[in-house]
Structures are given as C-alpha cells and as structure tokens.
Amino acid sequence: MRTRAHAEERLLKTLFTAYNKLSRPVANISDVVLVRFGLSIAQLIDVDEKNQMMTTNVWVKQASFQCFYLSLQTLTAELMVEVSMLLKNSNKMKGEHHCNTSFQEWHDYKLQWNPLEYENVTSIRIPSELIWRPDIVLYNK
C-alpha cells in the first residue's frame, strides 16, 4: 500500500541523491541566479536624532520557491523552503528605505518533480541547511 509518507520519502531520496548544496542552481555555468531580497524592521531599539542614526532588529526571510503550475504536458511542483533570521542592524535614517515585508526568493531548477509520480505530493518541508542558499551579508555604509 502506497501512502503519502512513503511518497514523500521516495521524493526526498530522488531530489537529494545527487543534489549538491554548494553548487549554484543553474543549468549552465554562465547562467545567473536571480535573487530578490527584502527585509522588515522587527524592533526599533534606539533613535539618535542628532546623528541621524537608528538601531533596529530586522527580520530577513529567505524563501526558495516557484509557484505550482499546470502545463498541457505535465504537472510540476517545486520545493518550498523558508528560513528566517533575526539580525541586529544600525542604519542612518536619512535616505534609507525599508520594506514592510521580508523575502528572498530564487529558482532552483533541480528541486522540481511531477506530483503524479509521488501520490500527488505538491509540497514538502525540509531543513534549509539541505539546499543551496545565496550568501547575503548586511553591513552599514
């Protein structure tokens, strides 16, 4: 008897048997990985009006996902992974713009499958440490 748990286990084995998280998710080495990035203020710690400085905690959310879509030939789904980090950040208030949502997204073509081959599994949850993630460093100028 096939169950969803067995299907997810087979899917994980299929996806990660030859997956290398150190390798950028591109088909050709000359391809670029487009990463969209944003953050949001989680906590305002201090405002120094005289020096126009503010100290904040910000949330940075990474998400690798692609919407599920149905084509005429095949139904494909892609892995969704999210990880959030709380960072302490000091920014000059003047000229700084902050997003009210936090996100980071990119496409990893190696993490897709046909749900019909895996008991209609369209999403799975895995530790973010298993996948390639872009290196993002926040610093003050």
Q: What is the pLDDT of residues 7-65, one digit of tens each?
A: 999 999 999 999 999 999 888 999 988 877 777 777 888 888 998 888 887 776 655 44
| Of 22-26, 76-80, 105-109, 116-120, the least confident | 76-80
For the chain, how many structural domains are there in total? 1
CA pseudo-torsion sign 7, 8, 14, 17 = negative
Q: Which long-range contacts (C-beta less than 8 Å, at least 24 apart) are formed by 65-71?
A: 65/105, 66/107, 66/112, 68/122
In a domain, 115, yes or no: yes
In a domain, 27, yes or no: no
Most distant CA atoms of the chain, gap in Å? 70
In a domain, 106, yes or no: yes
Higher-confidence position of 6 and 61 = 6
In a domain, 78, yes or no: yes
Asked whether the predicted pLDDT for residue 93 surpasses 80, the reply is: no
Percentage above 90 pLDDT, the chain: 16
In a domain, 73, yes or no: yes
Full residue range of the structural domain in which residue 85 is found: 4-22+36-130
Please answer whether residues 100 and 50 qualify as being in contact, where contact means their C-beta atoms are separated by less than 8 angstroms.
no
Q: How wide is the angle at C-alpha 41 spanned by C-alphas 98 and 95, nearest 5°? A: 30
Phi and psi at residue 96, to the nearest 5°: -90, 140
In a domain, 31, yes or no: no
**pTM (2 decimals)?**
0.57
Provide the token pair at 129.
């440490």
Please answer whether residues 62 and 83 qualify as being in contact, where contact means their C-beta atoms are separated by less than 8 angstroms.
yes
In a domain, 136, yes or no: no
